Chains A and B, each alone.
Chain A
Amino acid sequence: DVKVTQSSRYLVKRTGEKVFLECVQDMDHENMFWYRQDPGLGLRLIYFSYDVKMKEKGDIPEGYSVSREKKERFSLILESASTNQTSMYLCASSFLLRDSGGYTFGSGTRLTVV
């Protein structure tokens, strides 16, 4: 089974802190994604990456950055955490969608910014 591991299940951070969310997948997937999920808004794409050192902005990249130094690892960085970044963060990975049948998600990180 494909496994996508997010380093923390729950995090509480203070406003202004720099926050790192880590995601590791073990199936040699090229594609990796970061979403946030909020009630009533669904899943919104923050950033994605098709290859090492490659990144592209999603729909809501403001206040976030990413890093992909190795194929299996995709990190989401909150440069200066704010309370409106309190959310569930979901990492996902995939091969080309048409061949693989979609994403595999990590278990999520629930981030609270106080």
Chain B
Amino acid sequence: QKEVEQNSGPLSVPEGAIASLNCTYSDRGSQSFFWYRQYSGKSPELIMFIYSNGDKEDGRFTAQLNKASQYVSLLIRDSQPSDSATYLCAVSRNTDKLIFGTGTRLQVFP
């Protein structure tokens, strides 16, 4: 079992819709959870991080964490073609090392 699992996609959504990206992790001791966006040929950039169960909102982005189910998700409201990218989920214990999933490719079509 992979430590951090994501569906590779592509996830295709129409412009203006909500995109829902999901991630599961195997280590129950995980404490910190991150979402990165990576455009083709570019390096990952941090979108959000979440530490506590529940929802965290930042503009059009909402991160959701459920530690009991070992599940973290990212919702993108009002999706735009510029949101088309690969989204990486990353998880950490109380160390500073991040374990990354392989990413979900999102395509937003006009």
A residues whose Cβ falls under 8 Å from a Cβ of B? 31, 33, 35, 40-43, 45, 48, 50, 58, 90, 94, 96-98, 101-108
Contact = CB atoms under 8 A, between A and B. Distances in A.
A42 B88 CA distance: 9
B92 interface: yes
Nearest to A105: B43
A107 B42 contact: yes
Interface stretch (B11-19, B64-72, B74-82, B95-103): B95-103
Contacts of B88: 42-43
A94 B102 CA distance: 21
B51 interface: yes
Contacts, number: 51
B25 interface: no
B49 interface: yes
A48 B90 CA distance: 16
